[in-house]
A and B are shown apart, each in its own frame.
Chain A
């Protein structure tokens, strides 16, 4: 005797946690989330920088500067610094996006003061020891080779090169190329740090259980003392310029591959887009966000060609992209790409009410769980700060999602999906290219790995 299928109760109202806002003596903005029960604190520092301002031939200078922040400071050598972090259960990462430098720290609550002091040292007084500069640059060169060997990384790199205009910074890897990294010197890094990394426009986010913690006292005594006299405010980033010949197929020859990595892209919006960001996460879900989404319903569940293909709108601080990616077994590459492009183009004819409902419900109702940890809350608030979005953006956007109708989704998708796809296929060219015959329109070129 089976138990009858239960009814589902309505979700409880929920809003993204609102941070408390302060400004430190040196002008640094502070956003604090007290989240009881989150014993590991997440600290984020964002400094607006413009990736597009990296000098030609020195691409990756921002990313290398970020990686060297904790490799030796005025007060501590690289190993000493690492030892202090390890003994306090701290983990630090640093990198750059198109619009900023981000330092990301997780630390148990009781070590916040130590962590804040070390982050301040790393941001304000890195000394770029010769040895460490050589090591970090050499490791980046090896990393480039590791990325080349990975189909997914190689596809992402080729898609950027195909999608964006040749002169645009977005067409080249954020962390630099073999040539640009090889040209960097310690002096370049010191100068970049002095002028691009400073407290002007910076925001600190602290999220977690702050019971008994004097957050402002700690931050005033650490990041509040950060000064950088030569720091120049970054110009606001501009959206990347698409390539004139973006609509084409590029095969990256990776001999011996048993699968073809597919990446299909178009320029897309950022989260400040005037018509509203709400439709885009819903579109991602409906097209390529689950085994039942339009793409996997055919390529995975019906055909068995793939473990899974995902579509997502990827906002940058300025501009963005719509990317569909995944891998299929080599022999079926032509058929799979024809089906995939057919689904992406076919969606311009519109979505069903059932699809809109399921996507709206998924995006809206998963929000409380997606933002349930200090990590996730800190990441979102830091992103809002860097994207210059209001702090209630997340909540207001979820309200907008709840009100989406078919027309909203259709209109948003038709703006992005014009039928002019950049298609990158990383696989065994000898196997793959013959399968494309008659399956794809436009020019097909083959490049080396």
Chain B
């Protein structure tokens, strides 16, 4: 079934790229903004800053008092939030049709005039809130810091993806008002921002509204550096072991992958599906169902743009089983896949599951707007929402095995093992 979500696109004179995607089935409009700044742009000693900055975007701007952004939109039936990731920061709200101008006005005020309102008090308060977010989502969770260990093990020191978006407590402490001003000036501006309107609006109405509220913002973002060159796979295996108070041993086996949206990335993602992502993947069939040495096996491919993407498999080791045994079985399955490639059934299942999850994402106006902004900002290709599944259908068994042989070799893996601390005392051992 060919998809035909409407994509109308225009670039304002100040460089802001805009897409309007009309959908009148619900009397709602989603405003979705992606700014081309993420944790990959942070400087040493200031990790976590892009995310802390995102919090400050809710604490008032020239004509909006602290907290008013949330209050004003929620009182009109708006559902809203913002997130920060390696590659970008996004801000979004879905509002009843009649409130779209209020949403655009509020967004333009903070995207254009944040610094008029930023105070030391707000910075200190949101620094505390972000530290509690870090404690809640990472430090107080079993395995909560495992992915942070994965980033550090897979990506070299100094690489933009070596450190996590949440940052470190020390760097959060060091953030100053001067940093806030410099960051806003360097990264926030219409020429580094895309905006999608998705929902109950026509293309002409939509463009006119965005022009009215964002048209007078100056194109003043600092020049962007080009994305980094593609990183090669790890040439020798890396291993990090932590003894933690966790309910069972867990292995994270990670790989560098090609950058997002390349044919080779899609093929590598399909390979990871076949190995560990599907309910009938090699690892699930063998380790979870037959040998029952693992409680679960999951694989994920995260597409990123700055010279490398990340793929990883998570294996929950069954109680009483030696994790080395599970890892050895993983390597055997990987080697077998590299030798023989995917079966027809695996390819069919991977495509069918990708199709469902892609269509489910597009079913929601909010997620559709987010996918449009994503492909507009990072790949200049908002029509990807319509063409992505066609590209997946064209992936061949040969491409999958080729990508796997280059990127998923056992000696290109980084293993982060979280092992049950026998005496309840945590510790670390790294073997590079």
Contacts and interface: CB of A to CB of B under 8 A. Distances in A.
Interface of A: 1-3, 5-12, 14, 36-40, 78-79, 82-83, 85-91, 106-108, 110-111, 135, 138-139, 142, 145-146, 148-151, 255-259, 290-292, 297, 300-307, 327-329, 357-358, 361-362, 364-370, 372-375
Interface in B59-85: 62-63, 66-67, 70-71, 74-79
A77 to B, nearest CB: 10
Contacts of A146: 142, 247-248
B135 A366 contact: no
Contacts of B184: none
Contacts, number: 210
A106 B248 contact: no
A82 B75 contact: no
A10 B105 CA distance: 17
A277 B363 CA distance: 29
Given A290-B74, A327-B136, A372-B28, A3 B360 contact: no
A366 B77 contact: yes
A139 to B, nearest CB: 6
A149 B418 CA distance: 14
Given A8-B102, A106-B356, A259-B132, A364 B97 contact: no
A369 B79 contact: yes
Contacts of A365: 76-77, 96
B411 interface: no
B352 A86 contact: yes
Contacts of B295: 139, 142
B217 to A, nearest CB: 11
Given A146-B248, A290-B74, A305 B142 contact: no
B398 interface: no
Q: Which of A85, A145, A303, A368 neighbours the largest number of chain B CB atoms within 10 Å of its CB?
A: A368
A66 to B, nearest CB: 17
Contacts of A297: 67
13 contacts: A139-B296, A142-B248, A142-B295, A145-B319, A150-B141, A258-B139, A259-B139, A292-B67, A292-B71, A302-B125, A304-B129, A307-B132, A327-B136
Nearest to A360: B75
A38 B113 CA distance: 39
Interface string B8-30: 00000000000000010111100
Contacts of A85: 279
A257 B142 CA distance: 10
A301 B125 contact: yes
A38 B361 CA distance: 10
A246 B308 CA distance: 54
A87 B349 contact: yes
Contact of B71 (A37, A108, A110, A290): A290
Contacts of A145: 247-248, 319
Q: Which of A37, A39, A255, A297 neighbours the largest number of chain B CB atoms within 10 Å of its CB?
A: A39
Given A82-B280, A150-B141, A90 B349 contact: no
Nearest to A362: B74
Contacts of A328: 132
A72 to B, nearest CB: 11
B128 interface: yes
Contacts of A290: 70-71, 74
B282 to A, nearest CB: 12
Nearest to A304: B128
The 7 closest A-B pairs by CB, nearest first: A365-B77, A9-B98, A304-B128, A89-B352, A6-B101, A86-B349, A89-B356
Interface in B130-179: 130-133, 135-137, 139-142
B364 interface: yes
B212 A3 contact: yes
B47 interface: no
Contacts of B135: 258-259, 327, 329
A305 B132 CA distance: 7
A14 B71 CA distance: 23
B236 interface: no
A150 B356 contact: no
Given A14-B27, A149-B246, A79 B67 contact: no
Given A358-B75, A368-B28, A11 B356 contact: no
Given A79-B289, A291-B70, A369 B94 contact: yes
Nearest to B365: A372
Contact of A12 (B97, B129, B131, B140): B97
Interface string B263-282: 00000000000000011100
B119 to A, nearest CB: 13
Q: Which of B63, B124, B129, B133 neighbours the largest number of chain A CB atoms within 10 Å of its CB?
A: B129
Contacts of B364: 372-373
B60 to A, nearest CB: 11
Contacts of B406: none
